[in-house]
């Protein structure tokens, strides 16, 4: 399989058939909590994409070259969360120093990324499936893109929903969950899709 085919098939798998929100049900908290406005959804989605990609690659490197040779696989939960927390902290400091406007724009979302299930979840998925390094790099980037897409779709719908006449007891989270259900149904229709055998 040449590299272009690999990239395209990984893109389709990671964004559509194995969407992080609708297939793995990771990252539901930010998906419901931060998706009220498209702008904030975009900021959050981009941050998460970056953190997922970087932390999956770092976790993979640490796992294969540090934990496996010394037979310390059971320490992975501890080390992965440390890597993610350290990376987020480092990004926060770098952004504060070099791109203060973006830092201000992201505000509270940056520290929240540490406790996003999607980040740790993707790092685990990538290692459980024993992906080669190149596949893993693209997979983790596209998983982030899938999360970004889900967040933006949801925020677009919710912005319109504010004007709609929703039953009183469904206001807020319940109606957002109903929308998520319909979106998940649509995405589950794509599962099992395979363009390149």
Partner 1 sequence: MTALKTSMIICQVWERNMKAKNIILDGIVTNNAIFVMVLGMCPVLGTTDTLENAFWLGISTCAVLILSNLLISLVGKIIPDKVRIPCYIIIIATLVTVVDLALRKFLPGIYSEIGRFVRLIVVNCIILARAEAFAAGNKPHLSILDGFSVGIGFFLGLCLLGVIRELLNAGKLWGTTLFSGYVGIDIFGEAAGGFLTLAILMAVFNFVKSKIEKKQKIRQAMLKKSMQSVQSAGGKA
Q: Which residues bind partner 1 (CB under 8 A)?
A: 22-29, 32-33, 74-75, 77-78, 81-82, 85, 114-117, 119-121, 124-125, 128, 167-171, 173-175, 177-178, 180-182, 184-185, 188
Of 24, 6, 189, 34, the C-alpha closest to 110 is 34
Q: Which is nearer to partner 1, 10 or 114 (CB)?
A: 114
CB hemisphere CA count around 91 (13 angstroms): 25
Of 136, 137, 177, 133, the C-alpha closest to 157 is 177
Q: Which is nearer to partner 1, 28 or 102 (CB)?
A: 28
Q: Which is nearer to partner 1, 8 or 93 (CB)?
A: 93
DSSP symbol at 132: -
- DSSP strands (E only) in the chain: none
Tokens of 100: 């203060």
- Beta carbon of residue 51, minimum distance to partner 1 (angstroms, whole number): 12
Tokens of 137: 């790099």
- Beta carbon of residue 121, minimum distance to partner 1 (angstroms, whole number): 6
- Beta carbon of residue 134, minimum distance to partner 1 (angstroms, whole number): 24
Round to whole Å and give the CA distance between 5 and 195.
10
Q: Which is nearer to partner 1, 99 or 178 (CB)?
A: 178
- Beta carbon of residue 87, minimum distance to partner 1 (angstroms, whole number): 13
């Amino acid at each position: 399989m040449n590299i272009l085919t690999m990239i395209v098939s990984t893109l389709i798998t990671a964004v559509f058939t194995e969407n992080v929100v609708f297939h793995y049900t990771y990252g539901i908290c930010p998906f419901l909590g931060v998706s009220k406005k498209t702008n904030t959804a975009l900021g959050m989605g981009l941050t998460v994409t970056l953190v997922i990609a970087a932390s999956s690659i770092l976790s993979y490197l640490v796992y294969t070259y540090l934990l496996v040779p010394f037979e310390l696989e059971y320490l992975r939960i501890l080390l992965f969360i440390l890597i993610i927390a350290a990376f987020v902290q480092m990004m926060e400091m770098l952004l504060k120093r070099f791109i203060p406007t973006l830092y201000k724009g992201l505000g509270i979302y940056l520290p929240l990324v540490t406790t996003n299930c999607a980040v740790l979840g993707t790092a685990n998925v990538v290692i459980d499936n024993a992906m080669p390094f190149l596949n893993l790099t693209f997979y983790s980037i596209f998983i982030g893109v899938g999360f970004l897409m889900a967040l933006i779709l949801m925020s677009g719908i919710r912005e319109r929903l504010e004007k709609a006449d929703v039953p009183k007891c469904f206001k807020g989270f319940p109606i957002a969950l109903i929308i998520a259900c319909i979106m998940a149904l649509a995405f589950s229709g794509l599962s099992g899709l395979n363009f390149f055998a």
